[in-house]
Structure 1
């Protein structure tokens, strides 16, 4: 016997006595309420003051800020998709109060209005989380990740290519001048030789004109005349182009033509999975308890030169110096160790070969020929090789890094390596062995080694892996943010700030079960 099938009532024309409000349709602990509540308690007076006034009315910046942050929290990065969500998604409609700005308004607000303001807003949110005991600014973990720029992957300018082209023009100018010298070799009056070293667009043009004038009315090979005409037409223009490109490059080795602020970097998550170079930005991040506490952008591929500026930015924005900082070997340099020491920050920062040292120590490996293993007599300032031969100090010199940091290097040389039975194992130089020692770096490395191998250092090294790297994993894979939407470093700074804020609020929404009660009780003490 079949049972009667019963369906729930379905009537699209059914009227309600009172129409439901959007507030009733948004759950109490929904992330959109967290975004709404927190941004309501953030000071955006500086952002509001950036509006000139007059003319037609503007959408309120607080509403636009809420919408964009919540969009990034929901993995919506396109201004057109955000516009669509404002028409279709109940949470967006509730958050915006049914305001419906178009994609141009959203994009202008994100790319222009928020410049110079979002970083301060981000830090206010972080301080709010600090006051609620969620994170601490005293203990930070630092790392960097590369994110692809919104730029063409195949339109690029390379610094080495510019240098090669300039050298080629210089060489060909010399070759053209050699024809002038041949023409005038039997004459007493020889034209003054141009300056081929310091060449720019104006000097190249002047040199070409000088060569042309010298050969005027003279019998010259047809190919030489053709080359001279080509040089006159193209080389000054090319040199002017190279000068402009070098002004954009500055200290970098490459940039993208479609986003000149982006540098070509080798990224792990390449779209073709073959380690291809792509235009991008090096994002430096500080974290605590898997929350982002600070971010900066770098245009260099290496992390080493970014730490000083990143730490200074943290101190400037929070007016507080962190007590400890943990980072991997990419930041282990004399300059960084010195800077952290000057700031009284306990640095759990690895250096190159730290892990190899630990492995060799466990395996009992010991290279007696390594400079670190040579016996040193501090009283006589002398090293002794494994054969017992003295290596005396032959002087010291100072050198500067790319950042201008000055290092002092001491050199020691053996007296006579000829006939030594251990020479093949000791060194491969044709002359007597020379070693270089940087005593300040040696001291700093010894200090770092002591910290890293201590109980606290081991705990910090373990925590760094799941603290800061987990944040990058969430941003790139869970939030699917692998490529910037905006172009230009100022706009990209805004976008990474939005991502950082969205990450923090999303994580906070997952950790707070009863958000309304918790936040309201804490916020009432603050305001």
Structure 2
């Protein structure tokens, strides 16, 4: 006889069956999922089959399948087959779905066919957070993170890769042709001759395939082709490795680390600042926001566009000048005087605004002093040209970018705040996903999948901030 706690007999019948609701505590997160979906107007959000047809076999209500997916992404179960398994053994899902158990095909089809509705449901939860004053400070950190796509590097082709493979195959063909030439001079077993001819035929066929692939790549606007997921691209990751992936852009609130908005792209960060800032303004319903970003977002046109939106932005500038490698003075050695509209060179001479030009869509003022530069004793440290003077080019809106950099210099804690804010959601979502890739392909489906990740992340954050019961009450009252 032991003093351990004993369980109940599995074959013992009970007079009064237990109620399923008794197994789900009031603080169970599954109740949030149930209340949130019940309060949504699924028809207005664009979900299909909200109104069932009067004829034909009955289908599942979209609310049932949306609850299933939100629960799955909250609990690191994203696969439709795994969700099907859980509906038959998971007590929380039995309660949430009222003991319904759709098959994996029905589950997968729902995610495929209701992408827009799922994205709007995700936005609806963000708006709920806004109404609960979660974004009162109006400061967001913007960043992008690379998420692996359903496409290996083997099935991704660039011009360089195609040329390298063609050169490798041509070398193999030359090797086997030389070996066939030696057959006449040496006694070679017949099986070896057949093997060489088979390999030669295979490599010739492969060469034709690669040459065709090269033509396809060169005709593509991005000069890159992915065979498994055509929308995925080969991009550099943080450790400078290359990976076929998507670049997920997000704007994260600095107060509670909630994701305000997100988007799926297949390009690098440059050029995304103004677009993400505008998207944030629309969702927060306010223009006076501050967006923080890293140096990968620095673009003078983008910063000007962001400021024109009425927002403030803080983005560090990178020094991309190649002057030091050439052994001449860096641009930073030339000081601009806004009152006189001149540059002072390291020799102390004044460089005057001589002309205006347009480069890469930017209007630039050009400053130089031909006479002073011609007689300068340190000319060889300033320019490599023997005839032309050193020129300084200044964007006509450079003062706005310089004012932004001055504000950034006066707020040295900004880079730390940005990193602590925006890296947290990405790290959490990637941990939930595990060492894997997106389960779906193409922009449309990957965007739907990311919306489910973001909705689950924000929901879990709000549970941590407010608690389950308080959040349940807020959703019902909202």
Q: Counterpart in 1 of 2:2?
A: 5
Which shows bigger deviation, 142-151 or 155-164?
155-164
Instruction: Using the TM superposition, give the Cα deviation of residue 5 of structure 1 relative to its aligned residue in structure 2, in angstroms.
Output: 2.6
1:308 aligns with 2:274: yes
Matched position secondary structure for 1:88: coil
Question: How far is 1:290 from its partner?
Answer: 1.0
Aligned residues of 2:36 and 2:475 also touching (Cα < 8 A):
no
1:13 alignment partner, SS class: coil
Return closer, same or farther for 1:92/1:322 CA change in 2, 3 Å cut-off: farther
Q: Is the 8 A contact 1:137 1:322 kept in 2?
A: no
Aligned length: 427
**Shift of residue 268, structure 1, vs aligned partner:** 3.6
Q: Whole-Å Cα distance in 1 between the matches of residues 133 and 124 of structure 2?
A: 14
TM-score (norm 2): 0.79
> 1:79-478, aligned counterparts within 5 Å?
79-110=80-111, 112-136=112-136, 138-159=138-159, 245=217, 249-250=220-221, 252-268=222-238, 275-288=240-253, 289-300=256-267, 302-317=268-283, 319-353=285-319, 369-374=329-334, 382-400=342-360, 405-412=361-368, 414-415=370-371, 417=373, 420-454=376-410, 457-478=411-432
- In the alignment, the residues of structure 2 paired with residue 162 and residue 431 of structure 1 have an alpha-carbon distance, to the nearest angstrom, of 43
Q: Separation in 2 of the partners of 1:397 and 1:162?
A: 39
Tell me whether 1:30 sits opposite 2:31 in the alignment.
Answer: no
Contact 2:292 2:418 (C-alpha < 8 Å) held by counterparts: yes
SS in 2 for 1:305: coil
Query: 1:385: how far off?
Result: 2.8
CA shift, 1:276, in A, is 3.8
Note if contact 2:138-2:288 (Cα within 8 Å) is conserved in structure 1: yes
What is the CA-CA distance between 1:390 and the residue it aligns to? 4.7
Q: Secondary structure at the match of 1:510?
A: helix
Using the TM superposition, give the Cα deviation of residue 316 of structure 1 relative to its aligned residue in structure 2, in angstroms: 4.4
Contact 2:217 2:224 in 1 (8 A): no
Question: Aligned in 2, Cα 1:268/1:415: closer, same or farther, shift over 3 Å?
Answer: same
C-alpha spacing 1:458/1:36, structure 2 compared with 1 (3 Å): farther
Shift of residue 159, structure 1, vs aligned partner: 4.9
For 2:345 and 2:5, locate their aligned partners in 1 and report how far apart those are by CA, in whole Å: 91
User: What TM-score do you get using the length of structure 1 for normalisation?
Assistant: 0.72
Range moving further from structure 2, 367-376 or 283-292: 367-376
In 2, the alpha carbon distance for the partners of 1:38 and 1:408 equals 53
8 Å contact 2:76–2:433 — kept in the other structure?
A: yes
Q: How far apart, in 2, do the equivalents of 1:49 and 1:506 lie?
A: 24
What SS does the corresponding residue of 1:296 show, helix, strand or coil? strand
Q: Distance in 1 between matches of 2:385 and 2:31?
A: 70
Superposed CA deviations along residues 400-452 of structure 1, whole A, max 9, x for unmatched, are 3xxxx544352535436567442343333444442232233531232112221
Cα deviation, 1:28-86, whole Å, max 9, x if unaligned, reads: 21221122222222221135663384532221111111111110111112111111111
Secondary structure in 1 matching 2:25: coil
Structure 1: gaps (5+ residues): 166-229, 270-274, 355-366
Q: 1:102 to 1:407 in 2, by over 3 A?
A: farther
1:464/1:388 Cα in 2 relative to 1: closer, same or farther (>3 Å)? closer
CA distance in 2, matches of 1:343, 1:267: 30
Query: For residue 506 of structure 1, what is the aligned residue in structure 2?
Result: 460
1:460–1:38 CA distance, 2 compared to 1 (3 A): farther
Deviations 1:303-339 (A, max 9, x none): 1112232233334455543521111111121112111
Q: Deviations over 1:161-200 (max 9, x none)?
A: 78999xxxxxxxxxxxxxxxxxxxxxxxxxxxxxxxxxxx
Going from structure 1 to structure 2, the CA distance change for 1:87 and 1:135 (only over 3 Å counts) comes to farther
**Alpha-carbon deviations, 1:461-495, whole Å to 9, x = none?**
33222111111111112553752110111100001
| In structure 1, C-alpha distance between the alignment counterparts of 2:100 and 2:357, rounded to whole Å | 67
Query: d(CA) in 2 for partners of 1:493 and 1:348?
Result: 28
Contact 1:383 1:391 in 2 (8 A): yes
Contact 1:486 1:495 in 2 (8 A): yes
**Alpha-carbon shift at residue 148 of structure 1 (Å):** 0.7
Provide the aligned C-alpha RMSD in A. 3.4
Indicate conservation of the 8 Å contact 1:389/1:415, yes or no: no
Please give the secondary structure, in 2, of the residue aligned with 1:117: helix
Among 36, 39, 49, the residue aligned to 2:37 = 39
User: CA, structure 1 residues 101+450, in 2 after alignment: closer, same or farther (shift >3 Å)?
Assistant: same
- Conserved? CA contact 2:367–2:392, under 8 Å: yes
